[in-house]
């Protein structure tokens, strides 16, 4: 029995190592992106907002300053703070800033519903006969800051310069990674832990997740994210024609589901790692767990797409395998937790039955195997450290980068409680949009966005 329980982690570890090796190779061997001409396209930014008084003014001002030829569509999802008032002030003096107002009971139904409202208003705004193939929509979070050269990178021949490309996802970075006091009301130890938490999130997104996405460019299964997501309007139109709306109602991973529908509809998606959008890293573990629980529950929702992905002619064999691997991540975490519990109960029964000494002796005899398993499990995270140092923190020492890699390994264990909480919410029928609060920023005297 114990041997059977030990085989499952080995199988999971093998899958993880293969995936990690592919992602690392794709990241280290990524080709240089050839820029294109942004003037070939019409750009429209969608900024969904719900109680974003703390950050929305800075975001809109940056978008208008860095991309003066683009339109900004800011969706106020019936905020309880001054979000709409702030955006209306911009719109009054700038014809390229548009406030999309939503009111309850039709508001606060999730990010997808808010984005669909902006899509409908953009459709009304465009003149008859507009070339919708050259209209590109970019979704930016309310705290998102897009790199000023981003449009050149996503206009290149490997991105929207290719008419078969329907979506482009850029990399994500944590803007507050060098903030010395992310928790100004707490002491040195709490701030040190908060800095480390933001740092490993930056590692996760800027190298580990970027490598994963670059691997997906080879398997044809790139996923769209909620921040820095670029989509061709004709691709959104095709999804809307088939699904009645581009973004799915009630989806907790509306961004990733949009990418699934795009590929199922015949469009390709690519990832551009040479540009980025920055956002706030979360310095509090509780907020991080809230966010990741929502993501895990959204992943569980995506399991319903498995038959369509397997049957689709637009997914190759490698794309099907990669997508199914992604779908089943929360399931794998839950099975691991269940098997650990089962192993503990089994040992307890053996002890109660008088066979405890023999069972424990058998486990102790396996310590070399356990040590080897632990080393192989930790090494992939550890090795991301020097890569991250090279690309994001060249002023730090190799030893520090290895320490960050070790922290990344420990940080990855948050996936287990997040998956367990996601299952609990699913069983209880709770699928509301648990919005993560923003960090307070010095640019505003208002409150941070609320979580509900």
- Residue 145 is classified by DSSP as E
The answer, yes or no, to whether residue 441 has pLDDT greater than 50, is no
Half-sphere exposure of 414 (CA within 13 A, CB side): 21
Coil, helix or strand at residue 81: coil
What is the distance between the terminal CA atoms of the chain, rounded to a whole angstrom?
A: 44
191-248 pLDDT, tens per residue? Answer: 999 999 999 999 999 999 999 999 999 999 999 998 999 999 999 999 999 988 999 9
In this predicted structure, what is the pLDDT of residue 335?
A: 87
Read off φ and ψ for residue 185, nearest 5 degrees.
-90, 5
Residue 45 predicted with pLDDT over 50: yes
The predicted pLDDT at position 7 comes to: 73
Q: What is the pLDDT of residue 445?
A: 41
Contact 50, 104 (CB under 8 A): no
Question: Which tokens belong to 389?
Answer: 């140092």
Is there a contact between 37 and 224 (Cβ–Cβ < 8 Å)? no
Is the confidence at residue 440, as pLDDT, over 60? no
The whole-number pLDDT of residue 363 equals 57
pLDDT at 350: 59
Angle (CA) 292-84-185 rounded to 5° is 50
pLDDT in tens, 273-315: 999 999 999 999 999 999 999 999 999 999 999 999 999 999 9
- pLDDT tens digit sequence for 312-336: 999 999 999 999 999 999 999 998 8
Q: Measured on CA atoms in the order 223, 226, 227, 232, is the torsion positive or negative?
A: positive
Residue 434, pLDDT > 60, answer: no
Average pLDDT of the residues in 257-275: 96
pLDDT band at 447; cut points 50, 70, 90? very low
Percent of the chain with pLDDT over 70: 88
Q: pLDDT at position 376, please?
A: 85
pLDDT of 135 strictly over 90: yes
Q: Which residues does residue 45 pair with via DSSP β-bridges, in sequence order?
A: 72, 138
Q: At which residue do the structure tokens 């706030």 appear?
A: 280
Mean pLDDT, the chain, integer: 89
The residues, ordered by sequence, that sit 6+ positions from 266 with a Cβ below 8 Å of its Cβ are 238, 314
The whole-number pLDDT of residue 188 equals: 94
Question: How confident is the model at residue 370, as a pLDDT?
Answer: 65
∠ CA 220-224-226, nearest 5°, is 170
* Spatial distance between the Cα atoms of 425 and 286, rounded to a whole number of angstroms: 16
Q: How confident is the model at residue 444 (pLDDT cuts 50, 70, 90)?
A: very low
pLDDT at position 405 is 97
* R_g over Cα of the chain: 23
pLDDT at 429 over 50: yes
Length of the chain: 452
As given in the structure block, the two tokens for residue 188 are: 């040195």
Sheet holding 135-139, edge to edge: 97-102, 71-77, 42-49, 135-139, 229-232, 165-174, 268-279, 145-146
Tokens 């996936």 — which residue?
415
For 368-417, write each residue's pLDDT tens digit.
666 777 788 899 999 999 999 999 999 999 999 999 999 999 999 999 99
CB of 167 closer than 8 Å to CB of 224: yes
Residue 361 has pLDDT above 70, yes or no: no
Going by C-alpha positions, the residue among 14, 5, 15, 1 that lies closest to residue 335 is 5
| DSSP character at residue 1 | -
Q: With a threshold of 0.85, does the pTM exceed it?
A: yes
The pLDDT score that the predictor gives to residue 431 is 75
The structure tokens 């000023």 sit at 148
């Amino acid at each position: 029995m114990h041997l059977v329980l030990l085989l499952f982690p080995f199988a999971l570890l093998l899958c993880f190592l293969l995936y990690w090796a592919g992602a690392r190779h794709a990241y280290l061997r990524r080709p240089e992106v050839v820029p294109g001409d942004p003037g070939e396209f019409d750009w429209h930014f969608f900024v969904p907002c719900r109680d974003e008084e703390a950050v929305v003014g800075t975001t809109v001002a940056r978008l208008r300053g860095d991309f003066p030829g683009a339109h900004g569509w800011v969706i106020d999802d019936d905020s309880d703070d001054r979000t709409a008032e702030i955006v209306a002030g911009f719109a009054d003096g700038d014809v390229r800033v548009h406030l999309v107002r939503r009111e309850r009971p039709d508001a606060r139904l999730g990010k997808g519903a808010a984005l669909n409202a902006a899509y409908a208003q953009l459709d009304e705004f465009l003149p008859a006969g507009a070339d919708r193939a050259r209209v590109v929509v970019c979704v930016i979070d309310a705290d998102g800051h897009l790199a000023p050269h981003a449009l050149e990178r996503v206009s290149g021949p490997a991105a929207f310069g290719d008419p078969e490309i329907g979506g482009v996802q850029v990399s994500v970075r944590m803007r507050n990674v060098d903030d010395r006091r992310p928790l100004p009301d707490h002491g040195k130890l709490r701030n040190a832990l908060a800095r480390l938490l933001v740092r490993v999130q930056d590692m996760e997104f800027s190298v580990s997740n970027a490598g994963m996405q670059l691997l997906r460019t080879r398997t044809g299964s790139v996923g769209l994210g909620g921040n820095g997501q670029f989509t061709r309007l004709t691709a959104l139109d095709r999804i809307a024609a088939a699904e009645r709306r581009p973004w799915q109602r009630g989806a907790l991973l509306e961004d990733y589901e949009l990418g699934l529908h795009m590929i199922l509809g015949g469009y390709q998606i690519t990832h551009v790692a040479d540009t980025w959008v920055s956002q706030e890293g979360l310095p509090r573990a509780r907020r991080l767990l809230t966010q990741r629980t929502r993501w895990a529950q959204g992943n569980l929702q995506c399991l319903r797409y498995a038959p369509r992905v397997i049957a689709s002619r637009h997914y190759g064999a490698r794309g099907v395998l990669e997508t199914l691997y992604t779908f089943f991540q929360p399931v794998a975490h839950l099975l691991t937790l269940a098997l650990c519990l089962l192993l503990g109960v089994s040992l307890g029964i053996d002890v109660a039955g008088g066979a405890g000494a023999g069972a424990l002796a058998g486990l102790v005899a396996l310590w070399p195997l356990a040590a080897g398993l632990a080393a192989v499990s930790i090494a992939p995270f550890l090795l991301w450290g020097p890569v991250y140092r090279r690309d994001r923190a060249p002023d730090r020492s190799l030893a520090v980068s290895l320490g960050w890699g070790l922290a990344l390994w420990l940080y990855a264990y948050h996936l287990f409680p997040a998956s367990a909480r996601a299952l609990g919410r699913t069983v209880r029928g709770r699928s509301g949009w648990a919005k993560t609060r923003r960090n307070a920023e010095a640019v505003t005297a208002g409150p941070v966005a609320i979580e509900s």
